Chain A
Amino acid sequence: MNRYRLQHVTLFEYDGPVSESYNEVRLRPRQDETQSCLSFRLSTDPSSRPSAHVDPFGNWVHRFNVLAEHRRLRVAADSVVLVQTPPAIPAGTRRLADLDLLDEEIDQYYDLLAPTAYAPHLAELAGLMQEAGERSDGSAGSYALAAATLIYERFRYEKGATHVQSSIRDALSTGAGVCQDFAHLLLAVLRMRHLPARYVSGYLVPRRTAEPGASVEEVIGGQASHAWAEVYLPGAGWFGLDPTLGRPVCLQHVRVAYGRDYGDVAPVRGVYKGHAGQRLSVDVQVRPALDHEGCEHLAQTNAGPPRGPLPEEPPQQQQQQQ
């Protein structure tokens, strides 16, 4: 069991003034049998009054708006999370050959079996599927593990090889990608074999920080943000597999959001008014949280939104958006 303190700061800097910014974020770590979110605090600068709901995948979504003109927006999520050792895939899970017959379960997990924009079902994946089948002992669990390992072996981890909108087609054509692509590849290989699978976004805590008794604070930039996949093994439950590392998940993995693919779990999404371009930087700090925090609470700001300068008026009637 490990307890971490995570500080996730997203900073948007705009070339010019923007206003009427509306955002939703998925930054609160999930709460379930193997992970507890002990505390969560979201704050923004300029300040705002966030509200929250739970989406259909069980993720916490916080929404906020900043109306007044601003040139930078800082979103800080501060959480303390307790992680337990995830269960290992048991031996003797259902035979692959029997999976096709499970109409009932397949219907229940429709969303997690269907192809998505990021993870389409492609004929090019047939080779991977076949090889994973051959490496496996014929059970669903060993097929899933073999698939994760195979993807780890066959694809190069390369920053910048793909972009945030890339589907697995890009990784398949270049043989390289980042954790997002690895996770999407695994999703497709599992789903095409009729195994329900979901995308997981979260953090990978560096090994030294994850060691028992570690007290060193580690600043690791945006790299702690990570993604992997979970597979549903009929009769046994959900199991996390990290194709970027080529192994099952461990104490280093902190889960934040589930989805069909990246499109469902983007950590920060927003729209704003203004023609300015934006620069985005993400900074995540992880350290072992030795002090115990109480129950989680949201950032509360009492100050009203600040008054910003008003927009420049051109001599003609302002162009209306159409």
Chain B
Amino acid sequence: MGAARPLLYYRLLSPQTEESRGRLFRGYDPGPFYDEMFLPDGQARPHYARMFRELDSMAPEQFEERRQLADLSFLLQGITFTVYSDGRGTERLFPFDLIPRILPASDWDRIERGLSQRVIALNLFLQDIYGAQRILKDRRLPRSLIYSCGHFRREMIGVQVPGGIYTHVAGIDLVRDSRTGEFLVLEDNVRTPSGISYVLENRLVMTRTFPYAFHEHPVRPVDHYPTELCQILRSLSPRGGDAPAIVLLTPGIYNSAYFEHSFLAQQMGIELVEGRDLIVDGEVVYMKTIHGLMRVDVVYRRIDDDYLDPLAFRPDSLLGVPGLMGAYRAGNVALANALGNGVADDKAIYAYVPEFIRYYLGEEPVLRNVETYLCSRPKDLAHVLDHLPELVVKAVGESGGYGMLMGPTADRATIAEFRDRLQDNPRNYIAQPVVPLSRVPSYDPRNAAIAGRHVDLRPYCLFNGEKVVIVPGGLTRVALQPGSLVVNSSQGGGSKDTWVLGGDL
């Protein structure tokens, strides 16, 4: 990196003076939480020391200028998501916080081992449940839990998926428990996890906004993600050969993740298609090009199972491709991720994942789960009903923070409503104690100062059938509202760049 770039910057920004020192962190209170930047005694943690010094010497005005630069950069690139609160869908910027979330090499090493183990176990579980069902016959998991799961696809039983891979892409949500400082798994997402485009864009914007900080920190790169994913997709082609036709199947421009679909297609150099661009004939998938039908080998699909094929699933779906399931079953096309993965990220089945790791791998889980009550167990249900105001209740098949009760902040009416719902359909709910999430210093524009905000972490894991590749870091989501524990973008969350350090500082 040449010297010219930082110079250009400094010309744009206000001068740095001695008086600015300490103003951004004035009144900073780590509170009763694990603070990722500071030790309990108020000293910066070693891996955050340089970043702290840098921020601490900055005037709020300077920081504000950089923030606006970053926002402008997102706006110009049109990195937006769509919210449907008004029924029409409006495009919004995903709020970005400039202060990076830094993970030391040792933390990441543990996370990486834990996630690899978990993804491999989840994949083995899916192979088993749609195959021999050994785990059910050995009575390590109640059959009723699987067969009552809305995302369990009986149609997939006995289907040979290419390479035996189900979970090509997994997004595993982690949280750091303030009480122990330990990373716990909160949720698995093995259907069509989204958010990776933000990881890549956040990094790009950070290198433009804080270029010199990258000189001082050995930050591990993330930009090889599209290459890794593309390589896996290529390897799935049922026809083999050097140039398989790979497409990314999107529900279309009205989908909230459309930006990501178009971004990934562009980055991988594959065709972005909608259902209407594809047609199945005689169990082979084709795309309609101006020079006729062209055979498609691999579909990286970002459409949910339910909408993928109106013949096999919801007949009212106009987004899907009729006959796709048949072509898949016949082995003429590969789908990533596989169909029926929802049974592995069902929140009740989540409770058994540590058991899967022991059962399939004969290993102890590296990363533990959050303690979970399955309302389908009468004993658990009774406990949950007695302690609703202290618990988080989640619907088993939902994601994105929908269908959730935050006991401690909910009003009486909502709690009463959930009580009824739980009793009506206990299988549909689980409950967990509220995990006091760790916090990372984040900028609060209303006070022009830095304050602690709760975060989680979603690393993206790619599985090629043999090993799991994880781009270092992932998406750190941050609850920008003071005190809030909800990090979902649909509920006012933002994101941060996540730095995994390649070595010690």
Contacts and interface: CB of A to CB of B under 8 A. Distances in A.
Q: Is there a direct interface between A and B, measured as CB atoms under 8 Å apart in the complex?
A: yes
Interface of A: 20, 22-24, 49, 51, 53-56, 63, 65, 67, 107-108, 110-111, 114, 269-271, 320-322
A54 B154 CA distance: 12
Interface in B305-327: 310-311, 315, 318, 322-323, 326
B383 interface: no
Interface of B: 139, 142-144, 147-148, 154-155, 157-158, 252, 254, 275-276, 279-283, 310-311, 315, 318, 322-323, 326, 329-330
Contacts of A67: 279, 281
Nearest to A66: B281
B318 A321 contact: yes
A303 B260 CA distance: 44
Given A55-B155, A107-B143, 13 more contacts: A20-B279, A22-B280, A22-B322, A24-B311, A24-B326, A53-B329, A56-B158, A65-B322, A65-B323, A270-B311, A271-B315, A271-B322, A322-B254
Contacts of A110: 143-144, 147-148
A281 to B, nearest CB: 21
B180 to A, nearest CB: 36
Nearest to A111: B147
Nearest to B322: A22
A49 B282 contact: yes
8 contacts: A20-B322, A23-B311, A24-B311, A49-B282, A54-B158, A110-B144, A271-B315, A321-B276
- Give the top 7 A-B pairs by smallest Cβ distance, nearest first: A22-B322, A110-B147, A56-B154, A321-B318, A22-B323, A56-B157, A22-B311
Contacts of A49: 282
Nearest to A270: B311
A276 to B, nearest CB: 16
Chain B's interface: helix, strand, loop or mixed, by majority? loop
Contacts of B154: 55-56, 111
A321 B276 CA distance: 8
Contacts of A54: 158
B322 A107 contact: no
A65 B280 contact: yes
Contacts of B318: 321-322
A49 B330 CA distance: 14
Contact of A269 (B280, B311, B330): B311
A114 B155 CA distance: 18
A322 B155 contact: no
Nearest to A48: B282
Contacts of A108: 143
Q: Which of A22, A24, A65 has the most CB of B within 10 A?
A: A22
Contacts of B279: 20, 67
B281 A107 contact: no
A63 B276 CA distance: 21
Contacts of B326: 22, 24, 51, 63
B423 to A, nearest CB: 16
B178 to A, nearest CB: 40
A288 B157 CA distance: 37
Nearest to A320: B276
B210 to A, nearest CB: 41
Nearest to B326: A63
B144 A107 contact: yes
A67 B154 CA distance: 28
Contacts of A65: 280-282, 322-323
